[in-house]
Copies of this chain bind each other. A is one copy, B any other.
Amino acid sequence: MKIGKLNHVGVATPSIEQSVALYRDVLGATKIGEKFAMPEQGVWVCFVDLPNSQIELIEPHGDNSPLKGFLEKNPAGGQHHVCFEVDDIIAARDDMAAKGATVLNNGQPRIGAHGTPVIFVHPKNMGGVLVELMETPKGAH
């Protein structure tokens, strides 16, 4: 397995609206998408586009959001995960498992915010960083 592009940095926030105002009005980001829900993952999502990568703003959606614990520890929000692209999510998942890493959701890929399958690898195996691996969208190269 070989990681490719840094697709995005996931940034948890108690309020996507407030974070959009920060990235737009304070930091001057000019391309910011619409907020949308991913109920199965328990998050609202909004992408801030940068010339080479993205910030993925994520806010809890529903009562069982996996972000709740993170925001209890970090009420203002903060860096939540890093997402690298891979060519083949199944090959990546099997490689991670073979190397002893802990793939969340019992190793079952889900469809991510860009419409391609993703997995998450537990921070305990990744130097304290929650790592998302995302299959590169076809035709994206």
A114 in the interface, Cβ–Cβ < 8 Å? no
In the complex, the count of this chain's copies comes to: 2
Cβ-neighbour of A84 out of B50, B125, B127 (below 8 A): B50
Q: Nearest CB to that of A26 among chain B residues? A: B99
Query: Among residues 8 to 54 in chain A, which have CB atoms less than 8 Å away from a CB atom of chain B?
Result: 9, 11-13, 18-19, 22-23, 25-30, 50-54
Number of A residues contacting the other chain (C-beta, 8 Å)? 45
Q: Give the residues in chain B near A129, CB-CB below 8 Å.
A: 11, 77-79
A126 in the interface, Cβ–Cβ < 8 Å? yes
A109–B79 Cα distance when bound, in Å, is: 24
A128 in the interface, Cβ–Cβ < 8 Å? yes
Cβ-neighbour of A127 out of B5, B22, B123, B124 (below 8 A): B22
Cβ-neighbour of A5 out of B53, B79, B128, B131 (below 8 A): B53
